Structure 1
Amino acid sequence: MEKISIKIILTLVTTWAALGVKGQAFTGVDDLGRILPQFSEVGPQKKGKQIGLFYFLWQGDDGSPTSAHQWDLDKLYQYSPEVFQDFYHPGWGGGASGAGKYYFWGEPIYGYYRGDDYWVHLKNIQLLTDAEVDFLVIDATNRLTYFKQCDALMKAMDAVRKQGKTPPKIVFYTNTASGEAMQEIYKNFYGPQAISNYPDNWYYLEGKPLIIGLSKEAAGRDYESFFTIRESQWPNEAEKVNGWPWIEFQRPQRVYKNKSGQKEIINVSAAQHPNLDASMGGSAFYGKSGNWGRSFHKGSPGNPSKDIYYGYNIQEQWDFALSQDVPFIFITGWNEWIAGKWSRADENKHHAHFVDQANPEYSRDIEPSWTADLKDTYYLQMIANIRRYKGTNPPLYVNKDGSPQKSINWKDITPLYTDFTGDVLHRSHPGAQSEPKIIYENKTGRNDFKVLKLAASSKDLSFYVQTVDKISTKSGRDWMTLWLNIDESYLSGWNGYDFRVVNGDQLQRYVNGSWKDVTTVRCEILDNEMIVTISYEKLGLSVEGASIEFKWSDNMQKDDPLDWYLNGDTAPGGRLNLTVKIK
């Protein structure tokens, strides 16, 4: 469709982000009222700033088998705390027979997923692309390299890259039997006979694909000169030249230098376990001190019942990391989720030993979660800090033209945003649960958003959306919904949205805790294009200097912003919005 007869003034859209490229100045707010910093606060994009994020693939793997019947430590501790006082208590479920079964500390927003679930990886790659993460660091530190899971992840990366986006690339982190692990990784993913060969996904440093491991174990192997190798760096080891740390057990964190003596990298993590004897489980379940949960800051454990949501621990590290002006920041982590149940040989032999993850406070995942109302606050906090580190692009502007009324040639209007496509893919995949087995299904994907545009006249605003395929038939209030924040405040409306347009032409306003019909607006649909036109007057906006924040969603299943991470499609994704100033 090239021309649609809508009587408004032809508008020229001026924007730096014609295709929704990296650096999009998204706006948004979390449940705590923390607003994403904008250009006026963080300045323009800075060169030479790179973000790595620890990413895990071991959920439901044969090498880390999920406990049968019971697999969520937070729920188990809430409802059956007595289980934790008896290593062989039947309440442990599949882990009652002894050591070696794995438990989730809580529930990810995508359910207790398996590491080879392409649907989950695609969702995550979109989130991390929006967050401007540059590379994912795959945990292969325990020798396992997770071929099937890596292949699914790299297919998701490749799918997003082919859309013209800039998704994170991939780096492997090895340690145990590092030489053997790097050999296997080279053979399967990088070498001339690689089975899973996605060279566009490789992250390069110093002109070669980067891998992390023990360089001395690479000596004489056929991949030695293929990779740039940085050294695996444990927090209780002496500082290594070229060391890349995945966590730190001191404050402030160490800044690691490369072989040229230049400051290169620093780590930030959501929580830490410097008391290795107790580890995370000792602090979560048995009152042991010396570990630093999510609430830890200024040398104090804080008050987890209130502080856990704010990420004070990782923010304290971010503040220091930002002051160091290093080219790399390594974040731990996105989605580790599980921990093995191990035995103790000391006087606490009845206790279970969980090392890296245990409960909401003593865990370090940033991926959104249903548990303990953590929701997506750590994800939005991460976006905010990455923006402070890298800078961002200026706001979006749309020019209001004063020419005579005429129809709009939407083909000539520059897109404000190009959305991810292919994300209405239906899900049907086994979860990590071993018994009972669970299949996760999601068939809510319907209209796949592609392009968003906006045109302004002296009277109206016209919101244009294009989908990949023909727009479905109207079907309820969750069909093709336009969300509007018109007062530059997140304190009013529903999560900041003052108005929405449902069913194509029904304008509603959020008043006294519910949505109320206001009036009908003009809506036109032709094949895969839809335009909603609303007057400034109906929105209560001034014609001069108007600013409007908006997003689109389709097939939302419940009135919860977290639903935008899961169901139907949303543009932009999750809680992110576009804010446009009218000139």
Structure 2
Amino acid sequence: MKLANHSNFNAIDHLSRALPNFDSVKAKDNTKVVGLFYYLWHGYHGTQGPYDITKILQQDPNAMDNLDSSAWPDPTNVPMLHWGEPMFGYYLADDEWVLRRHVQMFIDAQIDVLYFDVTNGFNYEQNYLRLFEVLTELQEQGFQVPKVCFYLAPQTRGCGTGNLESLWFNLYKPERYKNLWFYWKGKPLIICHSKRQLPDEVRAFFTWRAPTWGDPKTPECWAWEGNPPKMATDLDGNPEQMAISVCANKCDLDSEDPLYGDNMSDGHWGALVHGRSWHNGAKDERENATHYGFHIGEQMEFALKEDPPVVFVCQWNEWLVPFLTTQTTDAPRYNYRGHDICFRDEFNEEYSRDIEPMKGGYKDAYYMQLISFVRRFKGMEAPTVDTVLSTIKNIDRFTEWDTAGIAYRKYIGGCKPRDHRAYDAIGKYTNYTGRNEFHISKVASDDQYIYFYAECVNKITAANGDNWMNLYIRNPKLTGPSWEGYHFIINRSRSSKLTAVERCAKNGEYSWDGIGEVEYSVKNNKINVKIPKMLLGISSEDFSIEFKWSDNMQDRDVMDFYVNGDCAPMGRLNYTYYFKKSAEA
């Protein structure tokens, strides 16, 4: 039996964009690094609300020009607002249920490092320690989790000095979570000005890179954003790092550029902002243009062309923005051209930088785009291919699977319940839909049949309803109706020995017509299904088939695969079974 790898994952997003496969990218280059800017601040600066700018402006479209609108909260009492709603809700940064899903998504995307934004003088120690626990848990299961690094304030003194001292004494000096540190040039990387007054012990411990927004002004200076992106180098001029961003601030705040008035974000910030839909020198005005990731797409292409060792991707999950008004600040740059309200960095779906999937809007399109970029930038190894015909003669005898087919392994812990405090108006989030947790999936085939196997962490519950232990299948060679790319669903109804095979009845809809019944078997924590290949449209000796196991899905929405019950693999991704008959067979 062979074990599948990341190249056995495939997906098609809601824009019909497929992930690149091994044949369309370069060979895997293990020296390449992709990092994500990650935020730990949700709820730390107050749990009032949540107040969502997008929903506020839906309630009162004129609210940006009226600070007295009843749609706004009291700006003297509410320091932070959300620009939109994350897929996992308005979570707090220490919500372990959310953190686990983040890490699982990073594993599947092959993210190498998380850069924690501590540029505002706070380390969020309680929150990063909770995340480190989850990272370590999944690392100990044998998965390659992202390593960690802190990105401090760009000032050479003042804001950030306390951050560094805290990180040194609480994390690095006692060697806590050393298993997670990201190393660069043989030492733990810290993105912080080395011009600060530092003890020799601290100075010698790290590899130092200076933080900056925009262009790296000197060697060994790593930006978190650039528009256009620029290459950071070492002291000898060798390429090191490049930052790319979902949305970018074009100019300096203090510029007198007259273009500001026409091109600033709708959030009344005076900087020229290139939003999500900016490309080819202009904002794309098509409906749902924000879904396509045009801006970061251009920056990704530039990074692929320049080919730096490290790409810094801005960003995963900021979501929050300070509520700056003339009632709360005297800084004239926040009161741009007479407006009483100003939002910096985040404002709405167009003018925001988050990749993390959202409710509605762009859904998980940016996450899929990120995976696609990682594959193109780092390359891919060849997928695991089955070359030997295997017949499961008795589907009630699960030991026949010990040496048959291809195995796919998923992390454990996704079915743990959610029961965690949230923003004040919500109280807490709960989710107890996790039921049968998938761990190992297998596929084998012979001339007539294809066999699917799933192994759960615990004994499989008794059959119950049409969302119990479903198997979704996509045949890439088929045309005709599909739901989110899936042509077939298995096991929405069943008897003691036979289970239903249904085919999508209407393209784009969760609507299925029965086309047959096939044998299946359940024993303890294992399930086994035997399907005639012809029923799935498999007509050639060499073929590929995509599949996903799902249990206890709540909503007939593909985004539910991230949230409720359990599935293998997570979210929109599918496992792919490749069969190529060997010459010796």
- Fold agreement, TM-score > 0.5: yes
Counterpart of 2:548 in structure 1 is 551
Counterpart of 1:537 in structure 2 is 534
Secondary structure of 2:91's match? coil
Distance in structure 2 (CA, Å) of the matches to 1:280 and 1:38: 42
| Amino acid corresponding to residue 517 of structure 1 in structure 2 | G
Counterpart of 1:110 in structure 2 is 88
Aligned: 1:203 with 2:182: yes
Counterpart of 2:114 in structure 1 is 136
Counterpart of 1:396 in structure 2 is 384
Counterpart of 2:142 in structure 1 is 164
Q: Which moved more, 1:85-94 or 1:561-570?
A: 85-94
Deviation at 1:351, TM superposition (A): 2.5
Shift of the 274–403 alpha-carbon distance from structure 1 to 2, 3 Å rule, reads closer
Say whether the 8 Å CA contact 1:49–1:327 is kept in structure 2.
yes
Shift of the 239–385 alpha-carbon distance from structure 1 to 2, 3 Å rule, reads same
| Amino acid corresponding to residue 342 of structure 2 in structure 1 | H
Distance in structure 1 (CA, Å) of the matches to 2:555 and 2:96: 24
Render the CA deviation track for 1:333-359: whole Å, top value 9, x for unaligned: 000000001135356454211111000
Q: Which moved more, 1:395-404 or 1:526-535?
A: 395-404
- The higher-RCO structure (CA 8 Å, 6+ apart) is 1
Counterpart of 2:451 in structure 1 is 462
Aligned: 1:85 with 2:65: yes
Distance in structure 1 (CA, Å) of the matches to 2:107 and 2:355: 15
Q: 2:28 aligns with which of 18, 34, 45?
A: 45
Taking the TM superposition and a 5 Å limit, the aligned residue runs for 1:253-268 are 253-268=229-244
Deviation at 1:181, TM superposition (A): 1.0
Shift of the 468–519 alpha-carbon distance from structure 1 to 2, 3 Å rule, reads same
Distance in structure 1 (CA, Å) of the matches to 2:279 and 2:392: 60
Distance in structure 1 (CA, Å) of the matches to 2:449 and 2:531: 5
Deviation at 1:178, TM superposition (A): 2.7
Distance in structure 2 (CA, Å) of the matches to 1:157 and 1:134: 12
Say whether the 8 Å CA contact 1:105–1:358 is kept in structure 2.
yes
Secondary structure of 1:450's match? strand
Q: 1:574 aligns with which of 567, 571, 575?
A: 571
Counterpart of 2:557 in structure 1 is 560
- TM-score normalised by L of structure 1: 0.90
Aligned: 1:220 with 2:199: yes
Q: Which moved more, 1:140-149 or 1:210-219?
A: 210-219
Q: CA RMSD in A?
A: 2.4
Counterpart of 2:484 in structure 1 is 495
Q: 1:269 aligns with which of 245, 268, 277?
A: 245
Taking the TM superposition and a 5 Å limit, the aligned residue runs for 1:15-414 are 15=2, 18=3, 20-21=4-5, 23-61=6-44, 64-68=45-49, 71-95=51-75, 97=76, 101-175=79-153, 177-192=159-174, 197-217=176-196, 219-220=198-199, 222-235=201-214, 239-249=217-227, 251=228, 253-275=229-251, 277=253, 283-286=265-268, 290-303=272-285, 305-344=287-326, 345=332, 346=335, 348-371=337-360, 373-401=361-389, 409-413=400-404
Distance in structure 2 (CA, Å) of the matches to 1:287 and 1:157: 37
Residue ranges of structure 1 left out of the alignment (5+ in a row): 1-12
Shift of the 540–468 alpha-carbon distance from structure 1 to 2, 3 Å rule, reads same
Shift of the 403–67 alpha-carbon distance from structure 1 to 2, 3 Å rule, reads closer
Distance in structure 1 (CA, Å) of the matches to 2:79 and 2:377: 39
Distance in structure 1 (CA, Å) of the matches to 2:404 and 2:262: 54
Q: Which moved more, 1:512-521 or 1:350-359?
A: 512-521
Q: Which moved more, 1:469-478 or 1:503-512?
A: 503-512
Say whether the 8 Å CA contact 1:178–1:214 is kept in structure 2.
no
Say whether the 8 Å CA contact 1:72–1:104 is kept in structure 2.
yes
Task: Report the identity percentage.
Answer: 33
Shift of the 559–138 alpha-carbon distance from structure 1 to 2, 3 Å rule, reads same
Render the CA deviation track for 1:419-478: whole Å, top value 9, x for unaligned: 0111101001112x23x2421111111111111111112221110111111111111111
Say whether the 8 Å CA contact 2:216–2:223 is kept in structure 1.
no
Distance in structure 2 (CA, Å) of the matches to 1:462 and 1:579: 13
Distance in structure 1 (CA, Å) of the matches to 2:520 and 2:186: 52
Distance in structure 2 (CA, Å) of the matches to 1:226 and 1:361: 41
Q: Which moved more, 1:76-85 or 1:255-264?
A: 76-85
Alignment coverage as a number of residue pairs: 552
Q: Which moved more, 1:514-523 or 1:153-162?
A: 514-523
Q: Which moved more, 1:491-500 or 1:445-454?
A: 491-500
Shift of the 307–437 alpha-carbon distance from structure 1 to 2, 3 Å rule, reads closer
Distance in structure 2 (CA, Å) of the matches to 1:230 and 1:297: 31
Render the CA deviation track for 1:367-414: whole Å, top value 9, x for unaligned: 00014x210000000100110001112233223438896776212236
Distance in structure 2 (CA, Å) of the matches to 1:449 and 1:567: 13
Distance in structure 1 (CA, Å) of the matches to 2:276 and 2:172: 37
